[in-house]
Structure 1
Amino acid sequence: MISSLIAFVLFRHIFLRITLRQQPATKHLPPKTQTLLANHLASFLHAVCSSYLVLSTFASHPDLLTDLQGLKANHWALAASRTTVAFSAGYFIADCWDMAVTGVYGRNLGIWAHHIVTVVCYSAALHKCALTPYLVLTLLVEFNSIFIHVRKILVLFYNGFDHLPATAATAYKFATAGLSATYVPTRILANLYITYQVGIQDRPNWAFPAYTWWMAFLGMVLVNYYNVILWKQLRSTLRKEKVALALASIKKDDDATADAPQGAVAEAEGNDAGEFLS
Protein backbone atom coordinates (compact mmCIF):
# COMPACT_ATOMS: atom_id res chain seq x y z
CA MET A 1 0.00 0.00 0.00
CA ILE A 2 2.81 2.40 0.87
CA SER A 3 4.66 1.49 -2.34
CA SER A 4 1.54 2.19 -4.38
CA LEU A 5 0.99 5.50 -2.58
CA ILE A 6 4.55 6.66 -3.27
CA ALA A 7 4.44 5.51 -6.88
CA PHE A 8 1.21 7.37 -7.64
CA VAL A 9 2.37 10.55 -5.90
CA LEU A 10 5.61 10.53 -7.92
CA PHE A 11 3.77 9.72 -11.15
CA ARG A 12 1.19 12.44 -10.59
CA HIS A 13 3.30 15.27 -9.15
CA ILE A 14 6.62 14.76 -10.91
CA PHE A 15 6.29 12.75 -14.12
CA LEU A 16 2.93 14.12 -15.28
CA ARG A 17 3.66 17.67 -14.19
CA ILE A 18 6.90 17.76 -16.17
CA THR A 19 5.42 15.93 -19.17
CA LEU A 20 2.33 18.10 -19.52
CA ARG A 21 4.38 21.29 -19.30
CA GLN A 22 6.89 20.12 -21.90
CA GLN A 23 4.69 18.52 -24.53
CA PRO A 24 3.68 20.95 -27.33
CA ALA A 25 0.10 19.69 -27.31
CA THR A 26 -0.43 20.30 -23.60
CA LYS A 27 2.06 22.90 -22.38
CA HIS A 28 -0.23 25.74 -23.48
CA LEU A 29 -3.22 24.44 -21.53
CA PRO A 30 -4.30 26.59 -18.57
CA PRO A 31 -2.87 25.43 -15.21
CA LYS A 32 -6.26 24.29 -13.92
CA THR A 33 -6.89 22.22 -17.04
CA GLN A 34 -3.42 20.65 -16.73
CA THR A 35 -4.15 19.80 -13.12
CA LEU A 36 -7.45 18.13 -13.99
CA LEU A 37 -5.85 16.29 -16.89
CA ALA A 38 -3.06 14.98 -14.67
CA ASN A 39 -5.56 13.81 -12.08
CA HIS A 40 -7.57 11.85 -14.63
CA LEU A 41 -4.46 10.39 -16.26
CA ALA A 42 -3.38 9.02 -12.87
CA SER A 43 -6.91 7.73 -12.26
CA PHE A 44 -6.92 6.11 -15.71
CA LEU A 45 -3.65 4.34 -14.91
CA HIS A 46 -5.11 3.04 -11.66
CA ALA A 47 -8.30 1.87 -13.38
CA VAL A 48 -6.34 -0.07 -16.01
CA CYS A 49 -3.90 -1.65 -13.54
CA SER A 50 -6.59 -2.40 -10.98
CA SER A 51 -8.82 -4.03 -13.60
CA TYR A 52 -5.94 -6.24 -14.68
CA LEU A 53 -5.19 -7.23 -11.07
CA VAL A 54 -8.85 -8.05 -10.37
CA LEU A 55 -9.28 -10.17 -13.50
CA SER A 56 -5.94 -11.95 -13.03
CA THR A 57 -6.72 -12.67 -9.37
CA PHE A 58 -10.00 -14.41 -10.13
CA ALA A 59 -8.65 -16.05 -13.28
CA SER A 60 -5.77 -17.55 -11.30
CA HIS A 61 -7.89 -18.39 -8.26
CA PRO A 62 -11.49 -18.95 -9.45
CA ASP A 63 -12.43 -20.62 -6.15
CA LEU A 64 -12.37 -17.16 -4.56
CA LEU A 65 -15.61 -16.30 -6.40
CA THR A 66 -17.49 -18.71 -4.11
CA ASP A 67 -15.24 -18.17 -1.09
CA LEU A 68 -15.21 -14.39 -0.79
CA GLN A 69 -14.40 -14.58 2.92
CA GLY A 70 -11.24 -16.45 1.99
CA LEU A 71 -11.85 -19.17 4.58
CA LYS A 72 -10.74 -22.03 2.33
CA ALA A 73 -8.33 -20.13 0.11
CA ASN A 74 -4.66 -21.03 -0.02
CA HIS A 75 -1.80 -18.66 0.77
CA TRP A 76 -1.27 -17.59 -2.83
CA ALA A 77 -4.92 -16.75 -3.42
CA LEU A 78 -5.08 -14.58 -0.29
CA ALA A 79 -1.74 -12.96 -1.15
CA ALA A 80 -3.06 -12.05 -4.60
CA SER A 81 -6.24 -10.55 -3.14
CA ARG A 82 -4.30 -8.56 -0.53
CA THR A 83 -1.92 -7.23 -3.20
CA THR A 84 -4.83 -6.04 -5.33
CA VAL A 85 -6.52 -4.32 -2.40
CA ALA A 86 -3.24 -2.76 -1.20
CA PHE A 87 -2.51 -1.38 -4.68
CA SER A 88 -5.87 0.39 -4.84
CA ALA A 89 -5.69 1.57 -1.23
CA GLY A 90 -2.39 3.29 -2.00
CA TYR A 91 -3.91 4.97 -5.05
CA PHE A 92 -6.92 6.30 -3.13
CA ILE A 93 -4.68 7.79 -0.46
CA ALA A 94 -2.55 9.40 -3.19
CA ASP A 95 -5.68 10.78 -4.84
CA CYS A 96 -6.83 12.27 -1.53
CA TRP A 97 -3.43 13.94 -1.27
CA ASP A 98 -3.77 15.25 -4.82
CA MET A 99 -7.24 16.68 -4.13
CA ALA A 100 -6.04 18.32 -0.93
CA VAL A 101 -2.92 19.85 -2.49
CA THR A 102 -4.29 20.94 -5.87
CA GLY A 103 -7.94 21.55 -5.03
CA VAL A 104 -9.15 19.22 -7.80
CA TYR A 105 -12.69 18.15 -6.87
CA GLY A 106 -11.93 19.61 -3.46
CA ARG A 107 -15.55 20.65 -2.96
CA ASN A 108 -17.03 17.38 -4.19
CA LEU A 109 -18.18 15.79 -0.96
CA GLY A 110 -19.28 12.63 -2.78
CA ILE A 111 -15.78 11.85 -4.00
CA TRP A 112 -14.23 12.70 -0.62
CA ALA A 113 -16.72 10.47 1.20
CA HIS A 114 -16.10 7.64 -1.26
CA HIS A 115 -12.33 7.87 -0.90
CA ILE A 116 -12.35 8.10 2.90
CA VAL A 117 -14.71 5.13 3.31
CA THR A 118 -12.67 3.13 0.80
CA VAL A 119 -9.35 3.88 2.50
CA VAL A 120 -10.72 3.01 5.95
CA CYS A 121 -12.30 -0.27 4.79
CA TYR A 122 -9.31 -1.35 2.71
CA SER A 123 -6.79 -0.46 5.41
CA ALA A 124 -8.80 -2.31 8.07
CA ALA A 125 -9.11 -5.41 5.86
CA LEU A 126 -5.38 -5.39 5.15
CA HIS A 127 -4.53 -4.88 8.83
CA LYS A 128 -6.78 -7.74 9.91
CA CYS A 129 -6.07 -9.89 6.82
CA ALA A 130 -9.81 -10.34 6.46
CA LEU A 131 -12.40 -10.25 3.64
CA THR A 132 -9.99 -9.05 0.96
CA PRO A 133 -11.58 -11.28 -1.75
CA TYR A 134 -14.84 -9.38 -1.22
CA LEU A 135 -13.04 -6.09 -1.70
CA VAL A 136 -11.29 -7.33 -4.83
CA LEU A 137 -14.66 -8.10 -6.41
CA THR A 138 -15.92 -4.61 -5.59
CA LEU A 139 -12.94 -3.27 -7.57
CA LEU A 140 -14.44 -4.71 -10.75
CA VAL A 141 -16.09 -1.29 -11.12
CA GLU A 142 -12.68 0.06 -12.17
CA PHE A 143 -13.15 -1.60 -15.55
CA ASN A 144 -16.11 0.72 -16.09
CA SER A 145 -14.06 3.65 -14.77
CA ILE A 146 -11.55 3.19 -17.61
CA PHE A 147 -14.11 4.54 -20.06
CA ILE A 148 -15.11 7.37 -17.74
CA HIS A 149 -11.54 8.61 -17.56
CA VAL A 150 -10.97 8.27 -21.31
CA ARG A 151 -13.94 10.58 -21.89
CA LYS A 152 -12.64 13.12 -19.38
CA ILE A 153 -9.10 13.01 -20.75
CA LEU A 154 -10.27 13.69 -24.30
CA VAL A 155 -12.38 16.67 -23.23
CA LEU A 156 -9.51 18.18 -21.24
CA PHE A 157 -6.82 17.48 -23.82
CA TYR A 158 -8.79 19.22 -26.58
CA ASN A 159 -9.96 22.15 -24.46
CA GLY A 160 -13.63 21.32 -24.50
CA PHE A 161 -16.30 19.01 -25.79
CA ASP A 162 -17.01 21.25 -28.79
CA HIS A 163 -13.40 21.11 -30.02
CA LEU A 164 -12.92 17.38 -30.45
CA PRO A 165 -11.46 16.58 -33.89
CA ALA A 166 -12.93 13.72 -35.87
CA THR A 167 -10.59 11.04 -34.54
CA ALA A 168 -11.02 12.13 -30.93
CA ALA A 169 -14.80 12.36 -31.38
CA THR A 170 -14.80 8.76 -32.63
CA ALA A 171 -12.71 7.67 -29.64
CA TYR A 172 -15.12 9.53 -27.37
CA LYS A 173 -18.06 7.66 -28.90
CA PHE A 174 -16.31 4.31 -28.39
CA ALA A 175 -15.57 5.24 -24.78
CA THR A 176 -19.20 6.20 -24.29
CA ALA A 177 -20.32 2.87 -25.75
CA GLY A 178 -17.90 1.07 -23.43
CA LEU A 179 -19.19 3.04 -20.47
CA SER A 180 -22.77 2.06 -21.26
CA ALA A 181 -21.95 -1.58 -22.02
CA THR A 182 -19.91 -2.20 -18.86
CA TYR A 183 -21.97 -0.24 -16.34
CA VAL A 184 -24.61 -2.88 -15.60
CA PRO A 185 -22.24 -5.89 -15.43
CA THR A 186 -19.63 -4.18 -13.23
CA ARG A 187 -21.68 -1.80 -11.10
CA ILE A 188 -25.04 -3.53 -10.75
CA LEU A 189 -24.78 -7.27 -11.42
CA ALA A 190 -21.43 -7.69 -9.66
CA ASN A 191 -22.65 -5.77 -6.63
CA LEU A 192 -25.90 -7.75 -6.54
CA TYR A 193 -23.81 -10.93 -6.49
CA ILE A 194 -21.75 -9.55 -3.61
CA THR A 195 -24.93 -8.67 -1.73
CA TYR A 196 -26.26 -12.20 -2.30
CA GLN A 197 -23.03 -13.73 -1.05
CA VAL A 198 -22.97 -11.54 2.07
CA GLY A 199 -26.68 -11.69 2.86
CA ILE A 200 -27.48 -15.33 2.08
CA GLN A 201 -24.53 -17.57 1.31
CA ASP A 202 -22.05 -16.37 3.95
CA ARG A 203 -24.48 -15.26 6.67
CA PRO A 204 -24.63 -18.67 8.46
CA ASN A 205 -20.85 -19.12 8.53
CA TRP A 206 -19.68 -15.53 8.88
CA ALA A 207 -16.26 -15.87 10.51
CA PHE A 208 -15.79 -12.29 11.64
CA PRO A 209 -17.43 -10.01 14.25
CA ALA A 210 -21.16 -9.52 13.73
CA TYR A 211 -20.85 -5.78 13.19
CA THR A 212 -18.70 -6.40 10.09
CA TRP A 213 -21.53 -8.42 8.53
CA TRP A 214 -24.05 -5.66 9.17
CA MET A 215 -21.68 -3.06 7.76
CA ALA A 216 -21.06 -5.15 4.65
CA PHE A 217 -24.70 -6.04 4.03
CA LEU A 218 -26.22 -2.63 4.67
CA GLY A 219 -23.39 -0.98 2.76
CA MET A 220 -24.04 -3.15 -0.29
CA VAL A 221 -27.79 -2.49 -0.13
CA LEU A 222 -27.07 1.24 -0.17
CA VAL A 223 -24.55 0.87 -3.01
CA ASN A 224 -27.03 -1.12 -5.11
CA TYR A 225 -29.76 1.46 -4.59
CA TYR A 226 -27.47 4.33 -5.52
CA ASN A 227 -26.07 2.57 -8.57
CA VAL A 228 -29.56 2.11 -9.98
CA ILE A 229 -30.24 5.83 -9.52
CA LEU A 230 -26.93 6.68 -11.16
CA TRP A 231 -27.72 4.39 -14.08
CA LYS A 232 -30.92 6.32 -14.77
CA GLN A 233 -29.06 9.63 -14.50
CA LEU A 234 -26.27 8.38 -16.73
CA ARG A 235 -28.66 7.29 -19.46
CA SER A 236 -30.27 10.71 -19.43
CA THR A 237 -26.86 12.41 -19.55
CA LEU A 238 -25.68 10.27 -22.45
CA ARG A 239 -28.83 10.99 -24.47
CA LYS A 240 -28.24 14.73 -24.11
CA GLU A 241 -24.56 14.28 -24.85
CA LYS A 242 -25.32 12.39 -28.06
CA VAL A 243 -27.22 15.39 -29.35
CA ALA A 244 -24.46 17.79 -28.29
CA LEU A 245 -21.76 15.68 -29.95
CA ALA A 246 -23.75 15.55 -33.16
CA LEU A 247 -24.02 19.34 -33.16
CA ALA A 248 -20.34 19.75 -32.35
CA SER A 249 -19.31 17.48 -35.22
CA ILE A 250 -20.66 19.94 -37.79
CA LYS A 251 -18.46 22.76 -36.52
CA LYS A 252 -15.02 23.40 -37.91
CA ASP A 253 -12.06 22.45 -35.75
CA ASP A 254 -10.70 26.00 -35.91
CA ASP A 255 -13.82 27.62 -34.45
CA ALA A 256 -12.15 27.89 -31.03
CA THR A 257 -13.35 30.76 -28.92
CA ALA A 258 -11.54 32.82 -26.32
CA ASP A 259 -13.21 31.02 -23.42
CA ALA A 260 -12.58 27.49 -24.71
CA PRO A 261 -10.22 26.58 -21.83
CA GLN A 262 -12.87 27.54 -19.30
CA GLY A 263 -15.30 25.37 -21.22
CA ALA A 264 -12.93 22.43 -20.91
CA VAL A 265 -12.66 22.86 -17.16
CA ALA A 266 -16.41 23.27 -16.77
CA GLU A 267 -17.02 20.16 -18.86
CA ALA A 268 -14.55 18.13 -16.84
CA GLU A 269 -15.87 19.28 -13.48
CA GLY A 270 -19.52 19.01 -14.46
CA ASN A 271 -21.73 17.60 -11.73
CA ASP A 272 -23.18 14.75 -13.79
CA ALA A 273 -23.44 11.05 -13.05
CA GLY A 274 -20.22 10.24 -14.87
CA GLU A 275 -18.17 12.65 -12.78
CA PHE A 276 -19.21 11.04 -9.50
CA LEU A 277 -18.48 7.59 -10.91
CA SER A 278 -14.90 8.58 -11.55
Structure 2
Amino acid sequence: MAKKEMEEGGKRNAIELFFLTTLILWLASVSFQIILTHQTRLLYIIAGSFFYQTSNSLIRYFSPKSSLSDPLFVNTAVSLIHSLVTSSSVIFILSKQWLNNGLSGMFDHSQLVEGTWSWAFEALCFSCGYFAYDQWDMLHYRLYSGWIPSILLHHLVLLICFTLALYRNITINYLILTLICELHSIFLHVRKVRRMAGIRDARSVIVKLEWFLNWTTFFVARCVSHVLITAKLIKDAHKFGKGVELPLALFGMAGMNILNIGLGMDLLKAFKRERKSQHANHRQHHE
Protein backbone atom coordinates (compact mmCIF):
# COMPACT_ATOMS: atom_id res chain seq x y z
CA MET A 1 0.00 0.00 0.00
CA ALA A 2 2.76 2.42 0.98
CA LYS A 3 4.73 1.49 -2.15
CA LYS A 4 1.69 2.22 -4.35
CA GLU A 5 1.18 5.60 -2.70
CA MET A 6 4.86 6.43 -3.23
CA GLU A 7 4.59 5.50 -6.92
CA GLU A 8 1.45 7.64 -7.35
CA GLY A 9 3.15 10.49 -5.51
CA GLY A 10 6.18 10.20 -7.78
CA LYS A 11 4.02 10.27 -10.90
CA ARG A 12 2.09 13.26 -9.57
CA ASN A 13 5.32 15.10 -8.76
CA ALA A 14 6.62 14.35 -12.26
CA ILE A 15 3.41 15.70 -13.80
CA GLU A 16 3.55 18.83 -11.66
CA LEU A 17 7.22 19.38 -12.44
CA PHE A 18 6.65 19.09 -16.19
CA PHE A 19 3.67 21.45 -16.38
CA LEU A 20 5.17 23.88 -13.87
CA THR A 21 8.38 24.01 -15.90
CA THR A 22 6.47 24.69 -19.13
CA LEU A 23 4.49 27.43 -17.35
CA ILE A 24 7.69 29.09 -16.12
CA LEU A 25 9.23 28.87 -19.62
CA TRP A 26 6.07 30.38 -21.08
CA LEU A 27 6.20 33.27 -18.57
CA ALA A 28 9.88 33.84 -19.37
CA SER A 29 9.03 33.95 -23.08
CA VAL A 30 6.25 36.49 -22.56
CA SER A 31 8.51 38.61 -20.32
CA PHE A 32 11.23 38.50 -22.98
CA GLN A 33 8.81 39.74 -25.63
CA ILE A 34 7.56 42.57 -23.42
CA ILE A 35 10.94 43.76 -22.11
CA LEU A 36 13.39 43.11 -24.94
CA THR A 37 11.20 43.46 -28.04
CA HIS A 38 8.99 46.18 -26.52
CA GLN A 39 5.68 44.45 -27.29
CA THR A 40 3.94 46.35 -24.52
CA ARG A 41 0.47 45.26 -25.67
CA LEU A 42 1.33 41.83 -24.30
CA LEU A 43 1.01 43.36 -20.82
CA TYR A 44 -2.70 42.54 -21.18
CA ILE A 45 -1.67 38.90 -20.63
CA ILE A 46 -0.18 39.84 -17.25
CA ALA A 47 -3.23 41.97 -16.50
CA GLY A 48 -5.49 39.00 -17.27
CA SER A 49 -3.57 36.67 -14.95
CA PHE A 50 -3.61 39.30 -12.19
CA PHE A 51 -7.36 39.93 -12.64
CA TYR A 52 -8.32 36.26 -12.34
CA GLN A 53 -5.92 35.58 -9.46
CA THR A 54 -7.44 38.58 -7.64
CA SER A 55 -10.93 37.21 -8.36
CA ASN A 56 -9.83 33.88 -6.89
CA SER A 57 -8.56 35.56 -3.70
CA LEU A 58 -11.72 37.66 -3.29
CA ILE A 59 -14.04 34.67 -3.74
CA ARG A 60 -11.98 32.67 -1.28
CA TYR A 61 -11.99 35.54 1.23
CA PHE A 62 -15.74 36.24 1.11
CA SER A 63 -16.92 32.62 0.83
CA PRO A 64 -18.26 31.07 4.05
CA LYS A 65 -15.96 28.51 5.66
CA SER A 66 -17.71 25.57 4.05
CA SER A 67 -17.65 23.66 0.81
CA LEU A 68 -18.01 27.02 -0.98
CA SER A 69 -14.46 27.91 0.03
CA ASP A 70 -13.16 24.62 -1.37
CA PRO A 71 -10.40 25.17 -3.99
CA LEU A 72 -12.45 23.35 -6.66
CA PHE A 73 -15.49 25.56 -6.06
CA VAL A 74 -13.37 28.73 -6.14
CA ASN A 75 -11.61 27.58 -9.31
CA THR A 76 -14.97 26.85 -10.98
CA ALA A 77 -16.36 30.22 -9.91
CA VAL A 78 -13.38 32.02 -11.47
CA SER A 79 -13.81 29.91 -14.63
CA LEU A 80 -17.41 31.14 -14.74
CA ILE A 81 -16.17 34.74 -14.51
CA HIS A 82 -13.75 34.05 -17.38
CA SER A 83 -16.52 32.62 -19.56
CA LEU A 84 -18.73 35.64 -18.85
CA VAL A 85 -15.95 38.15 -19.56
CA THR A 86 -14.68 36.36 -22.68
CA SER A 87 -18.06 35.68 -24.30
CA SER A 88 -19.14 39.28 -23.61
CA SER A 89 -15.89 40.54 -25.15
CA VAL A 90 -16.32 38.39 -28.27
CA ILE A 91 -19.94 39.52 -28.74
CA PHE A 92 -18.85 43.16 -28.27
CA ILE A 93 -15.99 42.82 -30.78
CA LEU A 94 -18.16 41.14 -33.44
CA SER A 95 -21.07 43.57 -32.92
CA LYS A 96 -18.77 46.59 -33.12
CA GLN A 97 -17.18 45.29 -36.30
CA TRP A 98 -20.57 44.54 -37.84
CA LEU A 99 -22.03 47.95 -36.99
CA ASN A 100 -18.98 49.89 -38.19
CA ASN A 101 -18.12 47.98 -41.36
CA GLY A 102 -21.01 45.63 -42.07
CA LEU A 103 -20.75 41.92 -42.79
CA SER A 104 -19.17 42.57 -46.17
CA GLY A 105 -15.55 41.54 -45.97
CA MET A 106 -15.75 40.81 -42.23
CA PHE A 107 -15.06 37.13 -42.77
CA ASP A 108 -12.76 37.52 -45.74
CA HIS A 109 -9.67 35.29 -45.57
CA SER A 110 -7.20 38.19 -45.42
CA GLN A 111 -9.25 39.83 -42.67
CA LEU A 112 -9.36 36.67 -40.57
CA VAL A 113 -5.68 35.79 -41.01
CA GLU A 114 -3.84 39.10 -41.34
CA GLY A 115 -6.28 41.63 -39.88
CA THR A 116 -7.04 42.38 -36.25
CA TRP A 117 -10.47 43.64 -35.22
CA SER A 118 -10.68 46.43 -32.68
CA TRP A 119 -9.98 45.07 -29.15
CA ALA A 120 -9.45 41.53 -30.49
CA PHE A 121 -5.74 41.50 -29.61
CA GLU A 122 -6.40 42.70 -26.06
CA ALA A 123 -9.25 40.22 -25.53
CA LEU A 124 -7.07 37.33 -26.69
CA CYS A 125 -4.26 38.46 -24.37
CA PHE A 126 -6.66 38.68 -21.42
CA SER A 127 -8.00 35.19 -22.09
CA CYS A 128 -4.42 33.90 -22.44
CA GLY A 129 -3.72 35.35 -18.99
CA TYR A 130 -6.63 33.32 -17.62
CA PHE A 131 -5.25 30.04 -18.97
CA ALA A 132 -1.92 30.77 -17.30
CA TYR A 133 -3.64 31.58 -13.99
CA ASP A 134 -5.83 28.46 -14.21
CA GLN A 135 -2.83 26.26 -14.98
CA TRP A 136 -1.09 27.54 -11.86
CA ASP A 137 -4.22 27.20 -9.68
CA MET A 138 -4.81 23.61 -10.76
CA LEU A 139 -1.18 22.71 -10.14
CA HIS A 140 -1.11 24.49 -6.77
CA TYR A 141 -4.25 22.76 -5.43
CA ARG A 142 -3.84 19.58 -7.52
CA LEU A 143 -7.24 20.02 -9.18
CA TYR A 144 -6.53 17.44 -11.87
CA SER A 145 -6.55 13.69 -12.28
CA GLY A 146 -4.95 11.08 -14.49
CA TRP A 147 -1.42 10.28 -15.61
CA ILE A 148 -1.78 12.76 -18.49
CA PRO A 149 -4.32 15.35 -17.22
CA SER A 150 -6.34 16.50 -20.23
CA ILE A 151 -7.17 19.87 -18.68
CA LEU A 152 -3.50 20.74 -18.08
CA LEU A 153 -2.56 19.56 -21.58
CA HIS A 154 -5.46 21.58 -23.04
CA HIS A 155 -4.26 24.75 -21.27
CA LEU A 156 -0.68 24.19 -22.38
CA VAL A 157 -1.68 23.79 -26.04
CA LEU A 158 -3.84 26.93 -25.88
CA LEU A 159 -1.06 28.94 -24.24
CA ILE A 160 1.38 27.92 -26.97
CA CYS A 161 -1.04 28.57 -29.86
CA PHE A 162 -2.39 31.84 -28.45
CA THR A 163 0.98 33.35 -27.58
CA LEU A 164 2.56 32.38 -30.91
CA ALA A 165 -0.33 34.09 -32.70
CA LEU A 166 0.02 37.15 -30.46
CA TYR A 167 3.79 37.35 -31.02
CA ARG A 168 3.33 37.31 -34.80
CA ASN A 169 0.01 39.23 -34.73
CA ILE A 170 -1.56 36.71 -37.12
CA THR A 171 -4.87 34.71 -37.13
CA ILE A 172 -6.05 36.83 -34.18
CA ASN A 173 -9.58 37.12 -35.59
CA TYR A 174 -9.80 33.37 -36.22
CA LEU A 175 -8.90 32.70 -32.58
CA ILE A 176 -11.47 35.24 -31.40
CA LEU A 177 -14.13 33.34 -33.35
CA THR A 178 -13.15 30.07 -31.64
CA LEU A 179 -13.76 31.74 -28.26
CA ILE A 180 -17.49 32.02 -29.04
CA CYS A 181 -17.67 28.59 -27.36
CA GLU A 182 -17.18 30.35 -24.00
CA LEU A 183 -20.86 31.29 -24.25
CA HIS A 184 -21.65 27.61 -23.70
CA SER A 185 -18.98 27.29 -21.02
CA ILE A 186 -20.99 29.77 -18.93
CA PHE A 187 -23.73 27.20 -18.43
CA LEU A 188 -21.28 24.34 -17.90
CA HIS A 189 -19.77 26.26 -14.99
CA VAL A 190 -23.18 27.42 -13.74
CA ARG A 191 -24.29 23.79 -13.53
CA LYS A 192 -21.15 22.80 -11.64
CA VAL A 193 -21.40 25.72 -9.20
CA ARG A 194 -25.12 25.07 -8.71
CA ARG A 195 -24.52 21.42 -7.81
CA MET A 196 -21.64 22.33 -5.47
CA ALA A 197 -23.97 24.78 -3.75
CA GLY A 198 -26.43 21.91 -3.14
CA ILE A 199 -29.13 22.98 -5.64
CA ARG A 200 -29.99 19.72 -7.37
CA ASP A 201 -33.78 19.67 -7.76
CA ALA A 202 -34.20 18.71 -11.41
CA ARG A 203 -37.87 19.74 -11.26
CA SER A 204 -37.14 23.41 -10.48
CA VAL A 205 -37.67 26.02 -13.18
CA ILE A 206 -34.11 27.32 -12.74
CA VAL A 207 -32.57 23.91 -13.40
CA LYS A 208 -34.83 23.27 -16.41
CA LEU A 209 -33.95 26.70 -17.85
CA GLU A 210 -30.27 26.03 -17.22
CA TRP A 211 -30.43 22.76 -19.15
CA PHE A 212 -32.29 24.43 -22.04
CA LEU A 213 -29.63 27.14 -22.31
CA ASN A 214 -26.89 24.54 -21.85
CA TRP A 215 -28.06 22.47 -24.82
CA THR A 216 -28.90 25.50 -27.00
CA THR A 217 -25.49 27.15 -26.56
CA PHE A 218 -23.74 23.79 -26.90
CA PHE A 219 -25.12 23.29 -30.40
CA VAL A 220 -25.03 26.93 -31.55
CA ALA A 221 -21.97 28.46 -29.86
CA ARG A 222 -19.79 25.36 -29.76
CA CYS A 223 -20.72 22.73 -32.37
CA VAL A 224 -22.06 24.87 -35.23
CA SER A 225 -19.49 27.65 -34.81
CA HIS A 226 -16.52 25.26 -34.73
CA VAL A 227 -17.80 23.27 -37.73
CA LEU A 228 -18.24 26.53 -39.69
CA ILE A 229 -14.71 27.67 -38.77
CA THR A 230 -13.33 24.30 -39.89
CA ALA A 231 -15.27 24.52 -43.16
CA LYS A 232 -13.93 28.05 -43.73
CA LEU A 233 -10.36 26.86 -43.18
CA ILE A 234 -10.80 24.01 -45.66
CA LYS A 235 -12.45 26.30 -48.21
CA ASP A 236 -9.63 28.87 -47.98
CA ALA A 237 -6.81 26.31 -47.68
CA HIS A 238 -5.33 27.36 -51.03
CA LYS A 239 -5.08 30.97 -49.83
CA PHE A 240 -2.71 30.12 -46.99
CA GLY A 241 1.03 30.37 -47.48
CA LYS A 242 3.51 27.53 -47.05
CA GLY A 243 3.93 28.19 -43.32
CA VAL A 244 2.57 26.23 -40.39
CA GLU A 245 -0.57 28.38 -39.95
CA LEU A 246 -2.94 26.10 -41.90
CA PRO A 247 -1.73 22.73 -40.47
CA LEU A 248 -1.84 24.11 -36.94
CA ALA A 249 -5.29 25.64 -37.48
CA LEU A 250 -6.73 22.44 -38.98
CA PHE A 251 -5.16 20.30 -36.26
CA GLY A 252 -6.50 22.62 -33.55
CA MET A 253 -10.03 22.68 -34.97
CA ALA A 254 -10.03 18.89 -35.44
CA GLY A 255 -9.13 18.58 -31.76
CA MET A 256 -11.87 21.00 -30.76
CA ASN A 257 -14.49 19.14 -32.79
CA ILE A 258 -13.46 15.82 -31.25
CA LEU A 259 -13.62 17.37 -27.78
CA ASN A 260 -17.10 18.71 -28.61
CA ILE A 261 -18.29 15.18 -29.41
CA GLY A 262 -16.92 13.91 -26.09
CA LEU A 263 -18.43 16.85 -24.23
CA GLY A 264 -21.81 16.23 -25.86
CA MET A 265 -21.75 12.59 -24.74
CA ASP A 266 -20.84 13.64 -21.19
CA LEU A 267 -23.65 16.21 -21.17
CA LEU A 268 -26.16 13.62 -22.35
CA LYS A 269 -25.08 11.23 -19.60
CA ALA A 270 -25.38 13.98 -16.97
CA PHE A 271 -28.81 14.97 -18.31
CA LYS A 272 -30.09 11.38 -18.21
CA ARG A 273 -28.64 10.92 -14.73
CA GLU A 274 -30.46 13.98 -13.39
CA ARG A 275 -33.73 12.94 -15.06
CA LYS A 276 -33.39 9.43 -13.61
CA SER A 277 -32.74 10.88 -10.16
CA GLN A 278 -35.77 13.15 -10.54
CA HIS A 279 -38.09 10.23 -11.42
CA ALA A 280 -36.70 8.14 -8.54
CA ASN A 281 -37.28 10.95 -6.03
CA HIS A 282 -40.77 11.58 -7.43
CA ARG A 283 -41.71 7.88 -7.10
CA GLN A 284 -40.27 7.68 -3.58
CA HIS A 285 -42.23 10.79 -2.55
CA HIS A 286 -45.54 9.26 -3.71
CA GLU A 287 -44.84 5.98 -1.98
- Same-fold call, TM > 0.5? yes
Which blocks of at least 5 consecutive residues in structure 1 are unaligned?
A: 21-25, 253-278
Distance in 2 (alpha carbons) for counterparts of 1:18 and 1:46? 19
Q: In structure 2, what is the equivalent of residue 17 of structure 1?
A: 60
Q: Separation in 1 of the partners of 2:201 and 2:250?
A: 46
Q: Does 1:214 align with 2:252?
A: no
Inter-partner Cα distance in structure 1 for 2:275 and 2:128: 35
1:95 corresponds in structure 2 to 134
User: 2:111 corresponds to which residue?
Assistant: 70
Q: Name 1:29's counterpart in structure 2.
A: 67
> 85, 90, 99: which is aligned to 1:54?
90
**Match in the other structure for 1:231:** 264
One-letter identity of the residue aligned with 2:191: R
Q: Distance in 1 between matches of 2:282 and 2:71?
A: 27
**Is this contact kept in 1: 2:114–2:171, CA < 8 A?**
no
Q: CA separation of 1:17/1:237 partners in 2, compared to 1, >3 Å: closer, same or farther?
A: closer
Structure 2 residue aligned with 1:6: 50
Equivalents in 2 of 1:84, 1:72: separation in Å? 16
1:129-208 pair list within 5 angstroms: 129-158=169-198, 164=200, 169-201=204-236, 203-207=237-241
TM-score (norm 2): 0.73
Q: Answer whether contact 1:8 1:42 (CA < 8 A) is retained.
A: yes
Aligned to 1:70, the other structure's residue is in SS state helix
The 1:7/1:222 distance shift into structure 2, 3 A limit, reads closer
CA distance in 2, matches of 1:131, 1:72: 4
Aligned to 2:149: 109
Q: How many residues are aligned here?
A: 235
* Larger Rg over CA atoms: 2
**In the TM superposition, what is the alpha-carbon distance from 1:165 to its structure 2 partner?**
6.1
Contact map agreement 1:67 1:73 (CA 8 A) in 2: no
Other structure's SS at 1:66 match: coil
Taking the aligned partners of 1:198 and 1:46, their CA distance within structure 2 comes to 27
- Cα distance in 1 between the residues matched to 2:262 and 2:142: 28
What is the identity percentage for the equivalent residue pairs of Structure 1 and Structure 2? Answer: 23
Q: Distance in 2 between matches of 1:47 and 1:251?
A: 38
Unaligned runs of 5+ in 2: 1-44
Counterpart of 1:82? 121
TM-score (norm 1): 0.75
Is the alpha carbon distance of 1:244 and 1:156 closer, same or farther for their aligned partners in structure 2, counting shifts above 3 Å? same
Instruction: Report the CA distance shift for 1:120/1:248 in structure 2 as closer, same or farther (over 3 A).
Output: farther
**Aligned AA for 1:29?**
S
Alpha carbons of structure 1 residues 228 and 27: separation in structure 2 relative to 1, 3 Å: same
The secondary structure found in structure 2 opposite 1:78 is coil
* Residues 229 and 166 of structure 1: CA distance in aligned 2, closer, same or farther (over 3 Å): closer
